[in-house]
Structure 1
Amino acid sequence: MNDFTEIKESLVSYVEQLDEEKSLELAREALNAGIDPLSLIDVMNEGMKRVGILYDSKDYFIADLIMAGMIFRQVLGLKEITDYFHRTNHKKIGKVVIGTVKGDIHDIGKDIFRYMLEANGFDVIDLGVDVAREIFIKNVQKHNPDILALSGVLTSTVDEMREIVNALKEVQLRDKVKIIIGANHLTENSFRFIGADGFATDASVGAKLCREWMNLGHGQGVEGNG
């Protein structure tokens, strides 16, 4: 069995340094050497986490986050990974409606989480960015998802997420769907204020929480964080 430790560490560093060329080159090398595509996605996610830390410390800016997201998307577009998605496409474990809430046009975190969900066997309906609460409600009614995923980079999105949860209560849909919220700025306090079932500041952790929900069934109150 190959030990990919050195390759993984180098790839995380290249993503952290926003080195697009070396990241893609090493990702291809790892896939050709036989690394599991899901393992590679986890490595890329670790690199993204480091970029997020640098952003939070104001060493990186939004343009750097966008660059890291572009690198991630390019790696996800490599043939070995897309082939993996196609092979597992029929093995759906649940359905998720996802979107970035109204007032926020950022899609990096949402897109990464969507890819992680798809890699874990979910059917994902992506509503895009700047999504009004009425659109979320309409799509929960239309698609009857197991999980509703709300994303938001801006701290101001906390209030909008809460309003979406309240709107679901008003139309008596709240107890029919699990709600996970995702953003780097989320805390235990903001999570409880919003009234979701779980939150994650890390896409991989969020995807694992969603899998756990599917394994446990649909009882309310399961919580999680990153």
Structure 2
Amino acid sequence: MIDLKKLALAMGELEDEKVVKILQEFVSSNPTEQEAMEVLEVCQAAMSTVGENYEKGEYFVADLIFAGNLLTYVIDLLKPVMCSYQTEVKGKILIGTVHGDLHDIGKNIFIGLAKTVGFELYDLGIDVSIETFVEKAQKIQPDIIGLSGILTAAIDSMKKTVDGMKEAGIKSKIVIGGIPVTKKACAYIGADAFTNNAAEGVKICQEWICNDN
């Protein structure tokens, strides 16, 4: 049986060798897809510790990048289990970090998670203009559009992007994600949902697709 508290502590302290050993033993025990998702959620939640340590000055930007890479590796380790019952694409998601913001760790984690449950992802990268979002959305007709941002200024960029897409007649569901997004910001921006957690964001997208089918 996997010790989730031990795993969470190792993730929060960025002890990559210990994390990998714990997860390799877990995967070799033939876990269920649901168990793998629960383990992944624990690993993601542990990232909040990394963020707190960064804010306290105990971690630096390099540590944040390392944390993002570690979580990506965790996803790769768990992917065979989480994808074992996945047989079809659930929908298309267009995603990017909005104009003026260059952060992509959270976005990339969301992409990794969304792919494991069957979504087809189109990543526009960072500092994405309104015009690029609109042009790509018109071309691929995504079911869902994800806007990511970490900076406070990203809120206004998200609003302008959402306004631009609505003016262009794009009907896709829109989810926003990042540290500054809140329920109030979501209403201001005009998005359909918000999240500060990549795993929660994937669940929102899954629910939308299920409700449409």
Cα gap change, 1:15/1:210 in structure 2, threshold over 3 Å: closer, same or farther?
same
Cα distance between partner residues in 1 of 2:82 and 2:97: 23
Task: Please report the TM-score for the alignment, with normalisation by the length of structure 1.
Answer: 0.84
Is residue 2:93 matched to residue 1:96?
A: yes
Corresponding residue SS for 1:77: helix
Cα distance between partner residues in 2 of 1:53 and 1:214: 34
Question: Structure 1: which 5+ runs fail to align?
Answer: 219-226
- 1:76-134: per-residue Cα shift (whole Å, max 9, x none)? 233xx344576556421111001111212211100111112112221111111111111
Task: Please report the TM-score for the alignment, with normalisation by the length of structure 2.
Answer: 0.89
Is residue 2:27 matched to residue 1:27?
A: no
Is residue 2:122 matched to residue 1:125?
A: yes
Residue aligning to 1:211: 206
The answer to whether the Cα contact below 8 Å between 1:24 and 1:71 also exists between their aligned partners in 2 is no
Cα distance between partner residues in 2 of 1:117 and 1:86: 11
Cα distance between partner residues in 1 of 2:46 and 2:30: 20
Cα distance between partner residues in 2 of 1:85 and 1:135: 32
Corresponding residue SS for 2:180: coil
The answer to whether the Cα contact below 8 Å between 1:38 and 1:119 also exists between their aligned partners in 2 is no
**Percent same amino acid among aligned pairs?**
36
The answer to whether the Cα contact below 8 Å between 1:184 and 1:201 also exists between their aligned partners in 2 is yes
How many corresponding residue pairs? 210
Is residue 2:64 matched to residue 1:71?
A: no
The answer to whether the Cα contact below 8 Å between 2:79 and 2:116 also exists between their aligned partners in 1 is no
The answer to whether the Cα contact below 8 Å between 2:72 and 2:112 also exists between their aligned partners in 1 is no
Deviates more, 1:19-28 or 1:158-167: 19-28
Residue aligning to 2:12: 16
Cα distance between partner residues in 2 of 1:209 and 1:83: 22
Corresponding residue SS for 2:101: coil
Residue aligning to 2:50: 51
Residue aligning to 1:168: 165
Residue aligning to 2:37: 38
Cα distance between partner residues in 1 of 2:166 and 2:22: 48
Give the letter for the 1:186 counterpart: V
Cα distance between partner residues in 1 of 2:22 and 2:96: 31
Is residue 2:82 matched to residue 1:114?
A: no
Of 146, 154, 158 in structure 2, the residue corresponding to residue 157 of structure 1 is: 154
RMSD over aligned Cα, in angstroms? 2.0
Give the letter for the 2:16 counterpart: E
Cα distance between partner residues in 2 of 1:35 and 1:45: 19
Cα distance between partner residues in 2 of 1:188 and 1:61: 29
Give the letter for the 1:160 counterpart: S
